[in-house]
Amino acid sequence: MSKYQSKPVNSDGSVAWSKSEDKAWSELYLRQLPLVKSRACQAYIDGLSMLNLPIDSVPQIKNINKELMTQTGWRLAPVPALISFDRFFELLADKQFPVATFLRTKEEFDYLQEPDFFHEVFGHCAMLTNPDFAHFTHIYGTLGKHASHTQRVYLARLYWFTVEFGLVKENGVTKIYGGGILSSPGETIYALDDRKPIHADFSVIDVLRTPYRIDIMQPIYYVLEDLKQLYHLSQDDLINAVNLAMELDLFPALFEPKEISNVK
């Protein structure tokens, strides 16, 4: 169960954010912006400029929606802190990106297991202005909506290593496009500057077979040749790839089981 509760959205699409929440947004924004400027892909930088998010106050969904609808036909959908897989895929299939309307507390500025408003908006919304990324996310939602439970488990890995923790080549330089990285100061630096993580060429079968944990820095990232690769991926038979990955089974995990890790 979530310890957070989403704030209500009124009839005109606004949230009554408090002064303390405005302050939290500002602090999160100002510490992350300098890090992503040199590490994020150009599509993200361009999208962030299009959105023109406020610095001193939490942005309103209705204002973000105006730009997303203009660029790619997407919009944000306010949701409770936690939603079901069914609801998640239904929203993506309808070009609605779910955002929980709560902000992390000061105690969890550096790591939050649940995606909050800052993660969803600062991490993901800029990329939703990019047609290739937006199209891939829409097709992903459509496939997930009709997939079996087991197929969804494998599809979750595809989302994880693209939308959340994806890297991409840009003029020969590795850049970030995954929102899970771009909303985390520690992982924004770690993903590109640390020697520990593996940077592997993107292979959909390999991605579908790679275990992950949500509470650690990622031991492996998959790198796209360019963002067009996402569009081409959306044109492939991804469910067939999922079924093949299920036959091949998972790769050995590159991390310790959680219960062992927590003891140390």
Domain ranges of the chain: 19-249
Q: Is the CATH code 3.40.50.620 the one for domain 19-249? A: no
Query: In whole angstroms, what is the distance from residue 53 CA to residue 64 CA?
Result: 8
Alpha carbons 105 and 119: distance in angstroms, whole number: 13
pLDDT value of position 264: 35
Q: Which residues line the annotated binding site?
A: 119, 124, 164
- The binding site for Fe cation comprises 119, 124, 164
Q: What is the pLDDT of residue 106?
A: 87
- Token readout for 24 is 């939290």
pLDDT of residue 13: 83
SS3 content of the chain, % helix, strand, coil (to 5): 55, 10, 35
Q: Give the whole-angstrom CA distance, residue 51 versus residue 49.
A: 5
pLDDT tens over the chain, length 264 residues? 568 899 999 988 899 999 999 999 999 999 999 999 999 999 999 999 999 999 999 999 999 999 999 999 999 999 988 899 999 999 999 999 999 999 998 888 887 778 999 999 999 999 999 999 999 999 999 999 999 999 999 999 999 999 999 999 999 999 999 999 999 999 999 999 999 999 999 999 999 999 999 999 999 999 999 999 999 999 999 999 999 999 999 999 999 988 654 433
Question: What's the whole-model pTM score?
Answer: 0.95
What is the predicted pLDDT for the residue at 2? Answer: 66
